[in-house]
């Protein structure tokens, strides 16, 4: 129902008043008792509040207009819902964990922060939603931000494989919705993790003399072995499936034993030769790529390796990988093939000096003894730190892996 | 059906505020007050309004103006002849201020419909209050809730019994009709320093005898040291470690008192025309509690209460100077509000950690939060920021640049833990920090807030910047 908003009855000594400030616009929804307008008189400023929930329809007296006692100032519609268009972008953005749209608006509405807290959050690209707030009314204080930054969030040695965006076991951000509209842009601050990973990747490329050497391997022998024994393997090893990774790990370990430089790390001006092989295996989960480490891989059987990788995969999916499980590692194997990569140049995982990239197995026509045969081929890539590893060593290391995989008995025989 | 929802015993800053708040919340409230004036009319406001906070501030302001006129106007180029003080007129003005305020409370009682009951209130058991009027007539009233707010009285010490004329307490010190030539003050606490300042400015030779070896031990000692320096320069002769052992009144023409005391050098004596005994205050519970009312007192006589001023006896609360905590009017008032709101069903609490305190000397001294000594004792690592008013343009322009703002913040989180100010408008300056501390402010937050220029409050801003080593208007100390 329509209500007339009237000026209050002015006291006898006050002939008229002036509209000082309108706090609501026509079309804006208002709740009961919310301040609508200030009226200035000689003696005092009078406030006029909304009589009920509803919408301010029409303002009849604007700012600066003179009004007299009980004059009609505006028309108010009780109970009406505001006809303001609901910004669909804002709605979508609100769902995302990462502040989208105009992130300043979102932070102001959603999360109260003290000025210094806001500064810290922006400088460190934090997500205010992740910070425990202890201030009045849920405000985030500077202290809260400092405490949040001190507590080690589960940050793995960030996966530095080429493929998907390396995210930590963290609740996966909702898919970023590309800004709508013609040539629209969206400025989104990096999450702390991404910023950290970016830092590490940059460090890897800038501080190492990274090169990549390539080779290719005929996977038919391994595939034959798999097909022949996979059922028996599963039966023997409590349902653990026989994959390719175990072969690659074992081949790598053999090769690492023969080329210690590839298993070493650089620490300042020192080279640390490790007497063990801790092989990091890039594991994909729907949370992203993580690199848990198989410790003392040399002592692990194929079944052990497959089982560990499977367990790590499950843990990664559930975000349950511990920091210990993801640190260390003397060598890393990354498999871009699962996503369809044919060939790539994996990036080093410092302080490791080499990383093996596995790719998609693709049938290709190959020349074998003068004949064309279609073989299941996989390109292999070895990125290495040339400060540590000579070209010759790198090439030979990769050739060794190829040879071992093309004739798996050699792994067994250690030749 | 009880006579009232709430009966408050005492109409001081604790009681009258509690009564007004309770009435605002729709509770049928009565306030019992025993103080009456010469015409047997009830006098509201308690010690604070009548013989404490308000009158002392009135005299402090009057005496400050006199002192400025006699000593500081010259500096501005203002020439005045001989400046005189008409003490009775000064006292009279003070009285007018008091009367206006106490009348104001009566007005507030009326407009809020608080029933003022004249008489001495005594808590009985089963939520009953016995009121004895000036003629000895008794009546018993019942209430669902009773708030005890009887306040405190000055502590008397055996060596210096009051005679109401030569040896007086703070009340008497507000009534001198002439400036005493030599004034002795026993107790260098807040009251002693304030009252000593009043008469010293008007021309008294003031000697303050303090039994403790430390000056103002409860405030930040850097501020205390500065205060000692400034007050001594102003003419207060403050003797620490001086324990009063006896006094002898002298009658006749050379009326006065001879006081004997002991300090580290041995036995001493001094003679004064008047002497003020202000060694502290104690809770006033005499005649307040019947033997079977159930309310407990601790060994110092304070009524035992919990965090919400509940005595443990259902429906009985106690606030202000009769319970634990700083004996400050604003603490009493906030406790009164908290209790009234809780009675009305709200969930009210008080933040006892952020109660500011003020000493109204000039320069004023104000403090909130922890002192540097407390932080050290608690093993908290902290940063300090100090800004002297000597570097404040506004203070210099006003020729009032003694003192400093000192801010303490947690070294790790930068959270402001304490702020201590000695200087012009210290109380109002410190209050801005109190508000910020209620919102868990960091020093950086205050540093990021825009402050008006040229205003005294900029000193607070600069002190906050100094905490983190980047004040603009002073050289910053290298951080350790």
Provide the pLDDT for residue A88.
40
Buried b (16+ CB within 10 A) or exposed e, A250-282: bbbbbbbeebebbbbbbeeeeeeebeebbbbbb
- Please indicate, yes or no, whether residues A171 and A250 belong to a single structural domain of this protein: no
Dist. CA A410–CA B295, nearest whole Å: 92
**What pLDDT score does A175 carry?**
52
Which member of A33, A105, A231, A390 is catalytic?
A390
Q: Indicate the pLDDT class of residue A60, thresholds 50, 70 and 90.
A: confident
Given the structure tokens 């009251």, which residue do they identify? Answer: B191
**Domain tally, chain A:** 3
| Set of chain A residues whose Cβ sits within 8 Å of the Cβ of B440 | 114, 134-136, 139, 141, 143
Cis bond leading into A301, ω under 30°?
Answer: no
* Integer Cα distance of A318 and A313 in angstroms: 9
Query: What is the arithmetic mean of pLDDT over A234-261?
Result: 91
Is pLDDT of A207 > 80?
yes
**Spatial contact of B270 and B259, defined as CB atoms under 8 Å apart:** yes
- A203 assigned to some structural domain: no
Distance set, CA A413 to CA A180, A205, A207, A220 (Å): 61, 38, 38, 19
DSSP annotation string for A64-107: T-EEETT-EEEEEEETPPP-PPPPHHHHHHHHSSS--SSHHHHH
User: What is the Cα–Cα distance from A246 to A251, expressed in whole angstroms?
Assistant: 8
pLDDT recorded at residue A285? 63
Instruction: Test A147 with B440 for CB contact under 8 angstroms.
Output: no
CA of A117: which chain B residue's CA is closest? B445
A121 and A148 belong to one structural domain: yes
Instruction: Report the distance separating Cα A353 and Cα A133, nearest Å.
Output: 42
pLDDT beyond 60 at A170: no
| Residue A85 touches partner B, C-beta closer than 8 Å | no
Beta-bridge partners for B397: none
* Neighbouring residues of B229: CB distance < 8 A, sequence distance ≥ 6: none
Please list the residue range(s) of chain B that carry CATH number 3.30.390.30.
Answer: 363-467
* pLDDT tens for each residue of A9-53: 776 666 788 888 888 888 888 888 888 888 877 656 677 888 888
Distance of CA A54 to the CA centre of its chain: 43
Is A115 within 8 Å of chain B by CB? yes
CA distances from A365 to A358, A373, A406, B321, B471 (A): 20, 5, 17, 98, 75
**Tens digits of per-residue pLDDT, A178-195?**
666 677 777 777 665 567
Residue partners of A310: CB distance under 8 A and separation at least 6: A240, A241
> What span, in angstroms and rounded, lies between the C-alpha atoms of B55 and B88?
14
CB-based contact A114 B415, cutoff 8 Å: no
C-alpha B304/C-alpha B309 separation (Å) is 8
Indicate which CATH number applies to the domain containing A33: 2.40.50.100
**The pLDDT value given to residue A401:** 95
Same domain, A72 and A129: no
CA distances from B130 to A404, B34, B109, B137, B311 (A): 103, 12, 21, 10, 19
pLDDT at A99 over 80: no
Q: Measure Cα distances from A274 to A142, A279, A415 in Å.
A: 44, 12, 22
Is A238 a residue whose pLDDT tops 90?
no
Instruction: Say whether A286 is catalytic.
Output: no
Is residue A116 less than 8 Å (CB to CB) from chain B?
Answer: yes
Residues A180, A235, single domain; the answer is: no
Q: Are residues A134 and B440, on separate chains, in Cβ contact within 8 Å? A: yes
* Beta-carbon separation of A119 and B441 below 8 A: no
pLDDT at A164: 38
Positions of CATH 3.50.50.60 in chain B: 4-154+282-353, 167-279
Q: Please name the residue that has the structure tokens 């570097």.
A: B391
Residue A87: pLDDT band (50, 70, 90) is: very low
C-alpha separations of B477 from B331, B375, B386, B446, B465 in Å? 37, 20, 10, 19, 12
Task: Tell which residue, A37, A40, A63, A57, has the closest CA to residue A49.
Answer: A37
Q: Are A252 and A281 in contact (CB under 8 A)?
A: no
Length of chain B: 480
In a domain? residue A84: no
Fold (topology level) of B4-154+282-353: FAD/NAD(P)-binding domain (3.50.50)
Nearest-Cα residue of chain B relative to residue A147: B413
CATH number for the domain spanning A140: value is 4.10.320.10
CA distance B220 to B384: 12
Same domain, A155 and A288: no
> Which chain B residues touch A if contact means CB-CB below 8 Å?
410, 412-415, 438-442, 444-445, 447-449
* Ranges under pLDDT 50 in chain B: none
Residue A287 has pLDDT above 60, yes or no: no
From the list A136, A143, A147, which residue is nearest B442 (CB)?
A143
The DSSP secondary-structure symbol of A340 reads: T
What percentage of chain A reaches a pLDDT higher than 90? Answer: 32
Cα–Cα distance measured from residue A338 to residue B261, given in angstroms and rounded to the nearest whole number: 94
The shortest CB-CB distance from B439 to any of A119, A136, A146 is to: A136
Instruction: Indicate if A274 belongs to the active site.
Output: no
CB contact under 8 A, A136 and B438: yes
Domain check: are A178 and A269 in the same one?
no
On whether both A295 and A368 belong to a single domain, the answer is yes
pLDDT of A188 reads: 76
Judged against a pLDDT cut of 80, whether residue A159 lies above it is answered with no
Nearest CA in chain A to B447: A116
* Same domain membership, residue A346 and residue A243: yes
Exposure of A111 in the CB half-sphere (CA atoms within 13 A): 26
At B429 the pLDDT is 98
CA A69 from centre of chain: 62
Nearest of B236, B198, B244 to residue B215 by alpha carbon: B236
The dihedral region occupied by A125, where left means phi > 0, alpha psi between -120 and 50, and beta the remainder, is left
Look at phi and psi of residue A130 and say left if phi exceeds 0, alpha if psi is from -120 to 50, else beta.
Answer: alpha
CB contacts, 8 Å: A146 with chain B: 412-414
How many other β-carbons are positioned within 10 Å of the β-carbon of residue A293? 21
* A43 shares its domain with A147: no
Which among A116, A135, A139 has CB closest to B448?
Answer: A116
C-alpha distances (whole Å) from B341 to each of A92, B20, B308 are: 43, 11, 11
Minimum CA–CA partner of A145 in chain B? B413
* Residue A136 confidence (pLDDT): 84
Instruction: Please give, rounded to a whole number of angstroms, the shortest distance from the CA of A121 to a CA of chain B.
Output: 14
Contact with chain B for residue A138, Cβ under 8 A? no
- Let me know how many helices (H) and strands (E) chain A has, helices first: 11, 18
Radius of gyration over every alpha carbon of chain B, rounded to an integer in angstroms: 24
> Which residue shows structure tokens 């201030």?
A135
Residue whose entry in the numeric block shows the structure tokens 């905490």: B467
Residues of B with a catalytic annotation lie at 453
CATH number of the domain that residue A307 is part of: 3.30.559.10
CATH number belonging to the domain at B167-279, selected among 3.40.50.150, 3.50.50.60, 3.40.718.10, 3.30.43.10: 3.50.50.60
Q: How many CA atoms lie within 13 A of B124 on its CB side?
A: 13
What distance in Å separates the CA atoms of residue B447 and residue B461, rounded to the nearest whole number? 6
CA dihedral A394, A397, A403, A404 (to 10 degrees): -150
Residues A219/A377, Cβ–Cβ less than 8 Å: yes
Same domain, yes or no: A54 and A19: yes
Kindly determine whether residue A115 and residue B415, on different chains, have CB atoms separated by under 8 Å.
Answer: no
Domain ranges, residue A37: 2-78
**Does A146 reach chain B within 8 Å, measured CB to CB?**
yes
Phi, psi of A225, deg, nearest 5: -60, -45
Interface with A, mutate which of B413, B435, B448 (most A CBs under 10 A): B413
A332-364 tens-digit pLDDT: 999 888 788 999 999 988 888 999 999 999 999
What would the two tokens of residue A269 be?
A: 């001006």
One domain for residues A287 and A181: no
On chain A, the residues whose CB falls within 8 A of the CB of B438 are: 136
CATH topology of domain B363-467: Enolase-like; domain 1 (3.30.390)
pLDDT of residue B449: 96
Question: Are A175 and A214 in a shared domain?
Answer: no
**Chain A residues with CB inside 8 Å of B467's CB?**
none
pLDDT tens, B142-195?
999 999 999 999 999 999 999 999 999 999 999 999 999 999 999 999 999 999
Q: Which residue, of A78, A104, A119, is where some domain finishes?
A: A78
* Model confidence pLDDT, tens digit, residues A306-326: 999 888 888 877 777 777 787
* Residue whose tokens read 């007497």: A275
Q: Which of A103, A65, A100, A335 is nearest to A219 (CA)?
A: A335
Cβ separation B442–A119 shorter than 8 A: no
Kindly tell me if the per-residue pLDDT of A300 is higher than 60: yes
A147 CB within 8 Å of a chain B CB: yes
Q: Which of A32, A53, A78 is the last residue of a domain?
A: A78
């Amino acid at each position: 129902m329509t209500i007339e908003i009237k000026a209050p009855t002015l006291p006898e000594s006050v002939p008229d008043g002036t509209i000082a400030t309108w706090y609501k616009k026509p079309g804006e929804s208002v709740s009961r008792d919310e301040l609508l307008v200030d009226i200035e008189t000689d003696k005092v400023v009078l406030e006029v509040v909304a009589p009920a929930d509803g919408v301010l329809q029409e303002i009849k007296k604007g700012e600066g207009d003179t009004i007299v006692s009980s004059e009609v100032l505006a028309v108010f519609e009780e109970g009406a819902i505001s006809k303001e268009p609901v910004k669909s972008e804002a709605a979508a953005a609100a769902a995302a964990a990462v502040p989208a749209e105009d992130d300043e608006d979102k932070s102001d509405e959603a999360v109260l922060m003290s000025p210094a807290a806001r500064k810290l959050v922006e400088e460190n690209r934090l997500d205010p939603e992740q910070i425990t707030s202890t201030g009045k009314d849920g405000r985030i204080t500077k202290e809260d931000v400092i405490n949040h930054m001190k507590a080690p969030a589960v940050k793995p040695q960030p996966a530095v494989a080429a493929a998907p965006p390396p995210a930590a076991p963290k609740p996966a951000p909702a898919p970023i919705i590309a800004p709508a509209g013609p040539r629209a842009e969206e400025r989104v601050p990096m999450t702390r993790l991404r910023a950290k990973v970016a830092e590490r990747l940059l460090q890897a490329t800038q501080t190492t003399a990274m090169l990549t050497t390539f080779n290719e391997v005929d996977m038919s022998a391994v595939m034959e072995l798999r097909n022949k024994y996979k059922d028996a393997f599963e039966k023997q090893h409590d349902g653990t499936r026989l994959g390719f990774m175990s072969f690659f790990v074992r081949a790598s370990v053999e090769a690492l034993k023969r080329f210690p430089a590839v298993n070493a790390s650089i620490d300042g001006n020192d080279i640390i030769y490790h007497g063990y092989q801790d092989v990091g295996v890039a594991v994909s989960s729907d949370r992203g790529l993580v690199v848990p480490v198989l410790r003392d891989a040399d002592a692990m059987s194929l079944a052990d390796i497959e089982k560990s990788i499977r367990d790590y995969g499950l843990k990664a999916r559930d975000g349950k990988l511990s920091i210990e499980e993801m640190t260390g590692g003397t060598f890393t194997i990354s498999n871009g093939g699962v996503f369809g990569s044919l060939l790539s140049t994996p990036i080093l995982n410092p302080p490791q000096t080499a990383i093996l990239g596995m790719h998609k197995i693709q049938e290709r026509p190959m020349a074998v003894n003068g004949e064309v045969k279609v073989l299941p081929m996989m390109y292999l890539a070895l990125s290495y730190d040339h400060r540590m590893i000579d070209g010759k060593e790198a090439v030979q290391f990769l050739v060794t892996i190829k040879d071992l995989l093309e004739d798996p008995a050699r792994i067994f025989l250690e030749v | 059906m009880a006579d009232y929802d709430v009966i408050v015993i005492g109409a001081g800053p604790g009681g009258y505020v509690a009564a007004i708040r309770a009435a605002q919340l729709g509770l049928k409230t009565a306030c019992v007050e025993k103080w009456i004036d010469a015409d047997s009319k009830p006098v509201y406001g308690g010690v604070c309004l009548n013989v404490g906070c308000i009158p002392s501030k009135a005299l402090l302001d009057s005496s400050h103006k006199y002192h400025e006129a006699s000593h500081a106007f010259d500096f501005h180029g203002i020439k005045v002849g001989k400046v005189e003080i008409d003490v009775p007129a000064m006292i009279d003005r003070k009285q007018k201020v008091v009367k206006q305020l106490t009348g104001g409370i009566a007005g507030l009682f009326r407009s809020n419909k608080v029933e003022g009951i004249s008489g001495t209130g005594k808590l009985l058991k089963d939520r009953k209050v016995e009121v004895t009027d000036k003629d000895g007539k008794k009546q018993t009233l019942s209430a669902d809730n009773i708030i005890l707010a009887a306040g405190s009285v000055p502590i008397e010490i055996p060596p210096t019994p009051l005679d109401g004329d030569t040896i007086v307490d703070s009340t008497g010190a507000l009534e001198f009709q002439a400036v005493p030539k030599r004034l002795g003050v026993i107790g260098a606490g807040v009251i002693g320093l304030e009252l000593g300042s009043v008469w010293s400015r008007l021309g008294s030779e003031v000697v303050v005898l303090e039994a403790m070896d430390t000056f103002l031990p409860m405030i930040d000692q850097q501020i205390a040291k500065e205060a000692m320096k400034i007050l001594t320069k102003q003419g207060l002769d403050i003797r620490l470690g001086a324990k009063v052992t006896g006094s002898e009144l002298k009658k006749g023409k050379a009326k006065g008192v001879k006081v004997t005391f002991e300090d580290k050098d041995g036995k001493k004596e001094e003679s004064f025309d008047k002497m003020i005994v202000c060694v502290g205050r104690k809770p006033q519970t005499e005649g307040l509690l019947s033997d079977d009312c159930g309310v407990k007192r601790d060994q110092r006589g304070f009524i035992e209460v919990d965090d919400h001023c509940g005595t443990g006896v259902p429906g009985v609360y106690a606030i202000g100077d009769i319970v634990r905590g700083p004996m400050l009017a604003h603490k009493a008032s906030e406790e009164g509000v908290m209790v009234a709101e809780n009675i009305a069903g709200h969930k009210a609490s008080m933040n006892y950690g952020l109660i500011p305190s003020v000493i109204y000397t000039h320069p004023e001294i104000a403090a909130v939060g922890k002192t540097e000594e407390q932080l050290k004792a608690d093993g908290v690592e902290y940063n300090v920021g100090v800004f002297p008013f000597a570097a404040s343009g506004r203070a210099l322009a006003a020729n009032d640049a003694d003192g400093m703002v000192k801010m303490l913040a947690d070294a790790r989180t930068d959270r402001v833990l304490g702020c201590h100010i000695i200087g012009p408008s210290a109380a109002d300056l410190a209050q801005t920090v109190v508000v910020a501390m209620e919102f868990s402010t960091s020093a950086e937050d205050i540093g990021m807030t825009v402050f008006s220029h040229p205003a005294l409050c900029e000193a607070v801003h600069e002190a906050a910047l100094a905490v983190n080593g980047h004040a603009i208007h002073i050289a910053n100390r290298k951080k350790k």
